[in-house]
């Protein structure tokens, strides 16, 4: 199976998935982000084991937080606050990695984190949150997960009981494991329902039945390749397939002017122009064959490749 076929199958599966399965996908993205951060910062391998997830109110979440530990209040710009909890053993592990402690110097004794601990661990959490946002942005079937930044830290969960908006949290957790299990500890990432919804892919807009039938008949059995090109920047297929006229797509390139998504028969599937969101460059979609007024010839769906790839 080609990479393109694999990507397309994942995109279709995620587009049809329920909230729970897409939410569980976030744990995979977080593990991917963790591995990249560990390699970039410490030149070691890392993964997440014994993963779990759940849902609870702020009060219940804080009440269930073991002590000692370290809590970070995190929030996207203008968004609702979330929490990251690290147990004391994970705090020790991160401090040892940050200070390049030898492998035979591992402290597994639970102790109350200090201000220095919070600062050093906060640097790692900042990198992890940024990597998580990037992986969600690149992932098939995922829209942009807002970049969260640390607002404050706390070692006593009771101090946060009245500092966070009363809302429902959905959380993912597990054991961060470094160096094959030499170091590690438990964590939980809790974000509001609204934030997780932002992180999920938006539903694919309603389309003509002919188009849907062609997708089902042709794309599942063919090596169908389609990409969006922002001059020299490629847009992931899963992201492109969820775009609709009026969507704003953040981009990081410095000098882009237009977006085009081209099918194998060279038909233009989407068109866009450069815009801005809060002073950041973005693409404003101006046309789509799935919307009225684009002017794409009716036979375009028929021109999709057959199951034999013709």
Residue 255: the pLDDT is 41
Measured between alpha carbons, how far is 157 from 153 in angstroms, rounded to an integer? Answer: 10
In the numeric block, which tokens belong to residue 287? 């046309």
Residue 144: the pLDDT is 55
Edge-to-edge strand list for the sheet holding 248-250? 233-235, 227-230, 258-262, 268-277, 280-287, 248-250
Measured between alpha carbons, how far is 302 from 299 in angstroms, rounded to an integer? Answer: 5
| Helix, strand, or coil (residue 308) | coil
What element of type H or E holds 130?
helix 115-138
Whether the Cβ atoms of residue 244 and residue 286 lie closer than 8 Å to each other: no
What distances in angstroms separate CA 9 from CA 53, 224, 295, one per listed residue?
A: 25, 11, 29
The owner of tokens 């004391």 is 88
Which among 272, 269, 306 is positioned nearest to 290, based on CA atoms? 269
User: Please, what's the b/e burial string for 162-190 (b: 16 or more CB within 10 A of its CB; e: otherwise)?
Assistant: eebeeeebbbbbbbbbbbeeebbbbbbbb
Residue 59: the pLDDT is 83
Q: Which domains does the chain carry? A: 3-199 (3.40.1550.10), 209-303 (no CATH)
Residue 155: the pLDDT is 87
CA angle centred on 236, ends 295 and 191, rounded to 5°: 115
Residue 304: the pLDDT is 39
Which among 79, 45, 38, 309 is positioned nearest to 194, based on CA atoms? 79
Global confidence as pTM:
0.59
What distances in angstroms separate CA 27 from CA 15, 217, 251, one per listed residue?
A: 17, 32, 25
- Exposed, middle or buried by CB within 10 Å (0-12, 13-18, 19+), for 284? middle
* pLDDT tens, N- to C-terminus, the chain (310 residues): 443 344 344 444 444 444 555 566 788 889 989 998 999 899 999 999 998 888 888 888 888 888 889 999 998 776 677 899 999 999 999 999 988 888 777 887 888 899 889 999 999 999 999 888 888 766 654 545 777 888 888 888 878 877 677 778 889 999 999 998 899 999 999 988 777 765 554 333 444 455 455 444 444 443 333 334 444 345 566 666 666 655 655 555 444 455 566 555 555 666 665 555 555 555 555 555 544 444 433 333 334 344 444 4
Which among 148, 242, 237, 146 is positioned nearest to 201, based on CA atoms? 242
Residue 185: the pLDDT is 94
Measured between alpha carbons, how far is 308 from 241 in angstroms, rounded to an integer? Answer: 22
Residue 295: the pLDDT is 40
Residue 122: the pLDDT is 92
What distances in angstroms separate CA 152 from CA 22, 78, 90, 97, 295, one per listed residue?
A: 29, 15, 19, 22, 52
């Amino acid at each position: 199976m080609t990479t393109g076929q694999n990507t397309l199958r994942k995109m279709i599966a995620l587009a049809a998935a329920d909230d729970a399965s897409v939410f569980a996908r976030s744990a995979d993205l977080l593990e991917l982000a963790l591995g990249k951060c560990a390699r970039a910062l410490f030149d070691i391998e890392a993964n997440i084991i014994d993963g779990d997830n759940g849902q609870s109110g702020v009060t219940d979440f804080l009440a269930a937080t073991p002590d000692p530990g370290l809590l970070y209040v995190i929030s996207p710009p203008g968004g609702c606050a979330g929490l990251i909890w690290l147990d004391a053993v994970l705090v020790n592990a991160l401090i040892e990695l940050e200070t390049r402690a030898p492998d035979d110097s591992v402290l597994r004794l639970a102790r109350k984190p200090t201000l220095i601990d919070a600062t050093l661990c906060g640097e790692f959490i900042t990198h992890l949150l940024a990597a998580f946002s990037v992986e969600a942005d690149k992932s098939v079937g995922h829209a942009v997960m807002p970049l969260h930044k640390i607002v404050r830290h706390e070692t006593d969960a009771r101090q946060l009981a009245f500092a966070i908006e009363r809302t429902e949290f959905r959380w993912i957790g597990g054991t961060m494991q470094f160096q094959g299990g030499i170091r590690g500890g438990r964590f939980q990432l809790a974000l509001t329902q609204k934030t997780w919804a932002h992180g999920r892919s938006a539903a694919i807009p309603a389309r003509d039945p002919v188009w849907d039938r062609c997708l089902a008949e042709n794309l599942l059995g063919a090596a169908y390749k389609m990409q969006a090109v922002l001059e020299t920047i490629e847009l992931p297929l899963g992201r492109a397939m969820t775009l609709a006229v009026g969507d704003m797509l953040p981009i990081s390139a410095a000098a882009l002017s237009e977006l085009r998504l081209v099918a194998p028969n060279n038909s233009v599937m989407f068109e866009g122009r450069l815009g801005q969101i809060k002073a950041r460059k973005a693409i404003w979609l101006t046309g789509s064959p799935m919307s009225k007024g684009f002017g794409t010839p009716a036979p375009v769906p028929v021109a999709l490749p057959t199951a034999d790839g013709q």
